[in-house]
Amino acid sequence: MSEVIRVAVLGGGAGGLTTAADLTFRGHCVNLFELPAFQEKFAPVMERGGVEVLGKKKRDNTSIGIRQIGFAKLNRITTSIEKAMEDVELVMIVVPAFAQRAFIDICSPYLRDDQVLLLSPGRTGGALMAERALMENNVTAKVMMAETSTLFYATRIVGPAQLMVYADKVCLYTAVLPANMTARTLKVINRAYPEFVGVSSILETGLYNIGAVFHPAPAIFNTGWIEATGGSFKFYAEAMTPSVIRVMEAVEKERLDLCESFGLKRKGIVEILNEYYGDLYPGWSLYEVAHKSEVYASIMGPPSMTARFISEEIPNTLVPMSLLGKVSGVPTPTMDMLIEISSIMNGCEYRRDGRTLEKLGLSGMDVGAIKKRVGL
């Protein structure tokens, strides 16, 4: 086991609970924090002093399952951010992108020099948003800012203080802002997660964000089913029909064109998944992954059209990708269509309220200036 690290995990949803439990199983000292507004939902975790993890242990030579199942007793579980941040080296914000700013704001007064602030996941532009938030909050501490491309776990809450973890990954892309701080920052992160591998910049984590392909289109094109059943169907195996897959492939092409326009490899979603899960899908199509993957087989649909597959991915993934396309000259008609339809469905303005270039501090920049801004 690597040297013990003291970690504050901020967020009491499935991702935060799984992160806290897994790091505890790994032998690290974990403080888990949730916003006081959600104390009632968080109460079972506080009462039990930890989290029960269900699932199946890993088989040899595969990433299906997790390292350990059972009850993880955490070091500290609290709705006091001051207590959660006490003496920690790594601060992990593990919440959907739409909630990240609230957690950044509440932890800002307690950040100190040489701490790592890690958004897991960052979605698209998360580290830029976080850095701007720290500036607006007058944070003077020299914090190392990082983000991952997606969540490390496929996981769901199935009962009070109880999780079903379907799988974790053997590798996860991790980027640092600015990029010249990557080696120093990864030294801290890798004590907790050796699987987190550094990539060139947050352009990679942001544009290799597979949620752009996997989540919005299937949700939108299964709206009736979602609203009629509350998501009581298999999201991948049943919702991703051949016609829906073709829309997803159109989003994927636009994402790949964006990658190329910013000088990144055209790394397809199946190639990324094979790196994450250890070559589980050699030669598979996107349709085969959706219908045959053991990782995704049991994952159910979202409970409503305001759930995170829309409310996280549209404003915090597709909106910034679309705007980056306008900078680089890459058309994104499918992404734009999904943004507009979801805005009409939910009676909101995702393009206005999402991660605009202004909010990311990129307004008026061309491709070269954006690459320079992230440290390339």
Helices and strands (DSSP H and E) totals, the chain = 19, 12
Q: What is the dihedral of CA 209, 211, 212, 214, to 10 degrees?
A: 130
Paired residues of 165 in beta bridges: 55, 155
Paired residues of 90 in beta bridges: 7, 116
Q: What is the pLDDT of residues 269-295, one digit of tens each?
A: 999 999 999 888 999 999 999 999 988
pTM: 0.95
Same domain, 124 and 41: yes
Q: What is the mean pLDDT of residues 104-111?
A: 98
Q: How far is CA 157 from CA 16, 29, 145, 327, in A?
A: 11, 22, 28, 39
Same domain, 14 and 48: yes
Same domain, 28 and 172: yes
Distance of alpha carbon 364 from alpha carbon 235, whole angstroms: 39
User: What is the tally of structural domains in the chain?
Assistant: 2
Distance of alpha carbon 130 from alpha carbon 99, whole angstroms: 12
User: Which pLDDT band, with edges at 50, 70 and 90, does 99 fall under?
Assistant: very high
Same domain, 140 and 254: no
Residue 57 pLDDT: 80
Tokens 């309220």 map to which residue?
Answer: 353
Say what angle helices 319-328 and 367-374 make with each other, to 10 degrees.
130
Answer yes or no: is pLDDT of 194 > 70.
yes
- Spatial CA neighbour of 130 closest among 182, 94, 177: 177
Distance of alpha carbon 21 from alpha carbon 74, whole angstroms: 7
- Is 376 within a domain? no
Same domain, 145 and 240: no
Tokens 């094979």 map to which residue?
Answer: 274
- Is 371 within a domain? no
| Torsion angles phi and psi, residue 142, rounded to 5 | -85, 90
Same domain, 187 and 251: no
- Spatial CA neighbour of 251 closest among 268, 229, 264: 268
In which element (H, E) is residue 6 found? strand 6-10
Residue 3 in tokens: 């040297």
- Is 1 within a domain? no
- Is 368 within a domain? no
Distance of alpha carbon 362 from alpha carbon 315, whole angstroms: 16
Same domain, 225 and 82: no
CATH number, domain with residue 45: 3.40.50.720
Same domain, 105 and 233: no
CB 107 within 8 A of CB 80: no
Q: What percent of the chain has pLDDT over 70?
A: 98
Cβ of 87: how many Cβ atoms within 10 Å? 9
Burial of 233 (0-12, 13-18, 19+ CB in 10 A): middle
User: Which pLDDT band, with edges at 50, 70 and 90, does 266 fall under?
Assistant: very high
CB 314 within 8 A of CB 338: yes
* Rg of the Cα atoms in the chain: 19
Q: How do 90-93 and 6-10 pair as beta strands?
A: parallel
Same domain, 123 and 247: no
Q: Which domain holds residue 75?
A: 6-200
Distance of alpha carbon 34 from alpha carbon 109, whole angstroms: 16
Paired residues of 54 in beta bridges: 164
Q: What is the pLDDT of residues 6-41, one digit of tens each?
A: 999 999 999 999 999 999 999 999 999 999 999 999
